[in-house]
């Protein structure tokens, strides 16, 4: 009988104590911050691949929609993201024994202006970059979409972490 009472008491105690963890990466005070405004990020780089802008824009808006409870608005957001794609360049990364390029590095840079209307101490403007490599025996047009998608994923996660994942 005593064992049964102790076990019941223990179960009630355990049931009343719950700990909740969220691993979505966002640490937002939703009582102060409820909306986000994500402006279009135009391409301002010398080299342009037109689909890059829509791939970036879609990934950025999808990331905030899936990882936060923020409502996306066109104007007057509690959080505001603006900027432009400022760089899309390729460089020789490795040289073969014959003296020719054997590997090429593609680099994408996005300049971001972030405004937090609930806490202006968190405002910033800074660039975010990512790189991807491909063999020089391949043509860029054949690997461009895959590499841009990979770099966009990296850059949007960097932006997300810098703006709302204050760990």
Question: Looking at the predicted structure, is the pLDDT value of residue 22 above 90?
Answer: no
Please report the sign of the dihedral spanned by the C-alpha atoms of residue 42, residue 45, residue 50, residue 54: negative
- Residue-range domain boundaries for the chain: 26-164
Mean pLDDT calculated for residue range 13-29: 51
Q: Which two structure tokens, joined as six digits, stand for 112?
A: 């971001």
Contact 110, 84 (CB under 8 A): yes
pLDDT tier for residue 27 given thresholds of 50, 70 and 90: confident
Quickly name the fold that domain 26-164 has. Answer: Double Stranded RNA Binding Domain (3.30.160)
Mean pLDDT calculated for residue range 154-166: 94
CA nearest to 60, candidates 151, 167, 136: 151
pLDDT in tens, 96-155: 666 667 789 999 999 999 999 999 999 999 999 999 999 988 999 999 999 999 999 999
Question: Looking at the predicted structure, is the pLDDT value of residue 16 above 60?
Answer: no
Radius of gyration, CA atoms only, the chain = 23
pLDDT in tens, 43-92: 999 999 999 999 999 999 999 999 999 999 999 999 999 999 999 999 88
All residues at 6 or more sequence positions from 157 whose CB lies less than 8 Å from its CB, including other chains: 63
Q: What is the pLDDT of residue 166?
A: 66
Enumerate the H helices of 43-139 as residue ranges.
51-67
Enumerate the H helices of 68-165 as residue ranges.
140-164
Q: Which residue has the higher pLDDT, 113 or 9?
A: 113
Q: Which residue has the higher pLDDT, 3 or 47?
A: 47
Enumerate the H helices of the chain as residue ranges.
2-16, 51-67, 140-164
């Amino acid at each position: 009988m005593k064992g049964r009472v102790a076990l019941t008491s223990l179960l009630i105690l355990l049931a009343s104590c719950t700990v909740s963890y969220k691993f979505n990466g966002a640490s937002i005070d939703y009582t102060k911050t409820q909306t986000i405004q994500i402006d279009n990020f135009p391409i301002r780089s010398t080299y342009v691949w037109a689909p890059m802008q829509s791939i970036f824009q879609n990934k950025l808006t999808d990331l905030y929609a899936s990882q936060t409870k923020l409502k996306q608005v066109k104007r007057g957001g509690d959080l505001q993201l603006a900027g432009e794609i400022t760089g899309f360049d390729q460089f020789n990364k490795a040289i073969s024994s014959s003296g020719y390029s054997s590997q090429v590095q593609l680099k994408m840079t996005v300049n971001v202006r972030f405004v937090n209307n609930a806490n202006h101490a968190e405002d910033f403007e800074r660039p975010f970059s990512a790189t991807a490599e491909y063999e020089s025996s391949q043509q860029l047009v054949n690997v461009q979409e895959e590499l841009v998608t990979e770099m966009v994923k990296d850059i949007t996660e960097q932006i997300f972490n810098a703006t709302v994942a204050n760990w």
